[in-house]
Amino acid sequence: MNITKILLSLIIGILFGIIPFSYLLGILKGVDLKKTGSGNIGATNLGRSLGLSYFIIGFLLDGIKGLVPVLIAQHYNLVQGFAGAGAILGHVFNPFFGFKGGKGVSTTIGVALGIVPTPFLISLVVWLIVYLGTYFVSVASISLAIVLPITTFLFGKTGLVEKILILAISILIIFSHRSNIKRLFNKTEPKTFFWGKK
């Protein structure tokens, strides 16, 4: 595999991934996500702070920044898996925030939509079912991270490299939720009702 294409794909992904859409939306509304709720700059904390409509906008924008690098890589014959991985790494380890970004779920969904659409749809349905059954965004996101690599290996029409990268990305998502997992075991993890805000 061409190392130049790999590096270029990673760089493109990272450049998109570090754009903090949800944080910027919060700032536009006078809310600093680093100083409210969980302190996370992702769409979930945006939704907790400003309501369902802002969660949806932030979720879609964070998903787009995962999808676009993959589409660029596909168009220019680069390595789509590494472009997607770069976007997620940029989102989770954002240098503008001391390498502490979002959890990477919505960006991963964008990446998965571009690379493995069928596993993406299955995983998204799982996310919705688990969330509506528990109202724990963290549990729904961890469930997605477990289902996505399984369905990718079973149904994904892509190469082994992309499948391994999807697995690695899913492990990263679970790792980024380690504080949530601890709170779940301690029964202190908050449920999220996005429609509770105006």
pLDDT tens digit sequence for 49-76: 898 899 999 999 999 999 999 999 999 9
| Number of neighbours of residue 19 by Cβ within 10 angstroms | 17
Higher-confidence position of 133 and 198: 133
Cα(15)–Cα(3) distance, integer angstroms: 18
Q: Where does the pLDDT of residue 193 fall: very low under 50, low under 70, confident under 90, or very high at 90 and above?
A: confident
The pLDDT-based confidence of 91 (bands split at 50, 70, 90) is very high
* Residue 120 CA: distances (Å) to CA of 29, 147, 187: 31, 9, 30
Q: What mean pLDDT comes out for the span 115-133? A: 94
Q: Is the pLDDT of residue 47 over 70?
A: yes
How far from 167 is each of 128, 164, 174, 178, 182, CA to CA, in Å?
Answer: 21, 5, 11, 17, 22
